[in-house]
Amino acid sequence: MRISAVVVVGDGRGQVGLGHGKALEVAAAVRKAGVRARKDMARVAIKGSTIPHETEGKHGASKVLVKPAAPGTGLIACPQVRAVLEAVGLRDALSKAYGSRNHYNTARATITALTRLRTIEQVAAARNKPISHFVEMRGEGESAESHAGQESD
């Protein structure tokens, strides 16, 4: 009988990796999974203690939705998603797992979702535009709510 291990590694500053290992002994399976996880590191765009925007990832029949949260909210997630989010270094995020709850597929779907994240600076650089092109400037007396119901001509 072989033992299967799944290991999540991260630097706590925006990098995370997931590895899977099988061996006759637990220690060997964990070691193999750790080596594969360190080889498979992915960079994640983070914004303070949360993520820049809502994102969704899918792997197999597992689907994971990750949303930014206000500071102090904490991580609201199932254990597989929580392990990935903590390894990345996030402290505030909301998540929901849909479909299959297979441990490996759920963790892989979370990494897929996180690798799709882009900061506004990355989007501006990719499109060769200034950041001001993407951010709507409001006057001092105006608020976002006053424009909510108005249509532009």
Predicted confidence (pLDDT) per residue in 52-109, tens digit: 999 999 999 999 999 999 999 999 999 999 999 999 999 999 999 999 999 999 999 9
pLDDT at 63: 97
pLDDT at 10: 96
Give the single-character DSSP code of 138: -
Cα–chain-centroid distance for residue 28? Answer: 29
pLDDT at 132: 87
Rounded to whole angstroms, the Cα distance separating 102 from 62 reads: 7
Q: In percent, how much of the chain has pLDDT > 90? A: 80
What pLDDT band is residue 146 in, cutting at 50, 70 and 90? very low
